[in-house]
Structures are given as structure tokens and as C-alpha cells.
Amino acid sequence: MDKLRKHPRTIDIVGICTTDASFVGIVTQYLPNGSLRGVLDARGDAITPKTQFIWAKDIAIGMAYLHEVGVLHRDLKSQNVLLTNEWRCKITDFGISKSEALKTIATTSTMRGGAGISGTFPFTAPEAFSAKSRFTTKCDVYSYAIVLWEIWDHGKPWDGFDLPEIMDAVRVEQERPKVPESMPVEMRSLMCHAWSHDAAARPDFKDIVMQLYIIEGQGL
């Protein structure tokens, strides 16, 4: 857990407290600009294309780091991305993350248990709705794709849908939110690959980061 304190794209961890092997409480730094979701709600139309791309890259870099050190986030969404004073993204809320090394938060990778399905339903990968599914890095990648959609659309994914409707749309009908017209074609392609129905077809975060640097080099 000590490794997570220093990365610029993840929230700084101030301290950890625990009562038993099934619970870990994490104390983190405070960022006054709030969540990405809050900023999208308050000033979405004022966000520049350059800022949108920076946020997309920030989040991908942070997630690539978490996966590199063996942490599955399990609840990646715009509410769990905070903005620094410089309006850069930091990933937060590892309350249901799983450290493969420590095995102190969640003792099993199964998607169902006492608390039900991990994560938040509009961001949940299709395979993760299955009771027998195991949460993988590719589930986090799917969630990232939905966050990309939020950054360019400014809306809330599956707004107005209840859980059965979301499950039917995502898992059965293989539907996805409508691609924002303002989204650059390169980012559309990346997003659509990241939310592929087939988890094996989704890129890893290290590949996403590489692709983003290529896109950046092309002058997006």
C-alpha cells in the first residue's frame, strides 16, 4: 500500500487504519476542486478540448500505475476522479479496490458477495453482471471508456435507466451510450475498443497510454 502514496495521478494516502482482515480504512489528501463529475455538472460546456484530452490521459496513466502494482480499482467513475489545484486528475476511492499483493481489501475476486456487484452499475462491464464472473483489469478498462464518454458528453451514463434496464442494454443488447459528436475520431476509436463487449478485445491501460501519446503527437 505504501507504493500508492507517491504517484501524481492517484490520490495521496495519508494513513491506513484497520480493525480486522476484511476492512481497511484509508485516509487521503483533500482536494478542494472536488470530483470530475462535479466539474462536468457545473461547467461542462466551458471545458476545452485540450483539457478533455489531458484528463483522459491523466486517468489512463493513473490506472496503468494501479494495475502495474497489482491493484484493481473496481469502482472507476467520474465521482472517483478528483481535480487538483492545477485541474489535473487524481484517481481516488480505493474502498473496494483489491490489492493482489496484500489481499486485505476483499478476500475474493468474485463479483457477488455480501455487498453485491462491485462498482456502480452504469460503469459496470457486461461480463461483471454475471454472478460467476471474476473482476479483471479489463473491467476497469470498460469503466474508463464510460468515463471518457462522460468527459466529452458531460451527461450521466444510462441516466433514467434502472438496474434491470442497464443490465439488459449492456449485457444482452450490447448497447453503449451514444458517441458524442464533439469527440475526436481518434478518441472515439479508443473509447469503442475500451468498451468492447468481448473483454479480451479491450486494450490494457499501458496500451491505452501509449495510444494517447501517439494521438497527442499527432496534434490533437
DSSP the chain: -GGGGS-TTBPPEEEEEEEETTEEEEEE---TT-BHHHHHHHHGGG--HHHHHHHHHHHHHHHHHHHHTTEE-S--SGGGEEE-TTS-EEE---TT-EETTT--S-S--BS-STT-SSS-GGG--GGGGSTT-B--HHHHHHHHHHHHHHHHH-S-TTTT--HHHHHIIIIIS---PPPPTTS-HHHHHHHHHHT-SSGGGSPPHHHHHHHHHHHHHTT-
Q: Domains (ranges, CATH) in the chain?
A: 33-218 (1.10.510.10)
pLDDT tens digits, the chain, 220 residues: what are they? 555 557 999 988 777 777 776 666 677 788 889 999 999 999 988 999 999 999 999 999 999 999 999 999 999 999 999 999 999 999 998 645 555 444 433 333 333 333 344 458 999 999 999 877 889 999 999 999 999 999 999 999 999 999 999 999 999 999 999 999 999 999 999 999 999 999 999 999 999 999 999 999 988 7
Residues annotated as catalytic are 75
Q: What is the pTM of this model?
A: 0.86
